[in-house]
Amino acid sequence: MTDSQTDRRRFARIQFDAGCELLTPSGPVEVQLVDISLRGALIESARQLQLEPGESAELHIYLANDILIRMPGTVRHIEGEQYGFLAGDMEIESVSHLRRLVELNLGDESLLERELEAMVDN
């Protein structure tokens, strides 16, 4: 089992539509959010990005009411036009917004608590 498959089993992936921008070493690129979790995101780009697995970037996810989730991290895997993005250390404001987004979409506080505990154990 690959690490990304393990993450998918431990962290619920939520399909969510939001405007996104990936800040890469070669500049910002508009991307499409496929899904998101407390641990990272799966994004899609209509054009091939000049990124390799292990490379750092920062994903900006724009929510309603001018809410921004800043997710620094690394590219975990690339499959065609999709890029798996592993979240790194986020600012508390971004973590709070992400937690609330996951909580609202899971609909079960016990699932959220289990995922938060899994993050701490990592």
Average pLDDT over every residue of 75-89: 95
Average pLDDT over every residue of 62-87: 93
* pLDDT, the chain, mean: 82
111 versus 106: which is more confidently predicted? 106
pLDDT-derived band of residue 113, with 50, 70 and 90 as boundaries? low
Domains contained in the chain, number: 1
**CA dist., res. 64 & res. 16, Å (int):** 12
**CA dist., res. 91 & res. 118, Å (int):** 19
20, pLDDT greater than 60:
yes
Strand 67-79 and strand 56-63: the pairing is antiparallel
79, pLDDT greater than 80:
yes
Q: Contact 29/49 with Cβ under 8 angstroms?
A: yes
Give the global pTM: 0.77
Q: Contact 43/82 with Cβ under 8 angstroms?
A: yes
28 versus 109: which is more confidently predicted? 28
Q: How many helices (H) and strands (E) does the chain have?
A: 3, 7
17 versus 72: which is more confidently predicted? 72
Comparing CA positions, the residue from 72, 73, 71, 25 lying closest to residue 49 is 25
Domain that holds residue 115: 3-121
Q: Say which CATH number the domain at 106 has.
A: 2.40.10.220
DSSP for residue 107: -
Determine the 3-state secondary structure of 95 from DSSP: helix
Report the pLDDT value the prediction gives residue 8, as an integer from 0 to 100.
Answer: 41
2, pLDDT greater than 70:
no
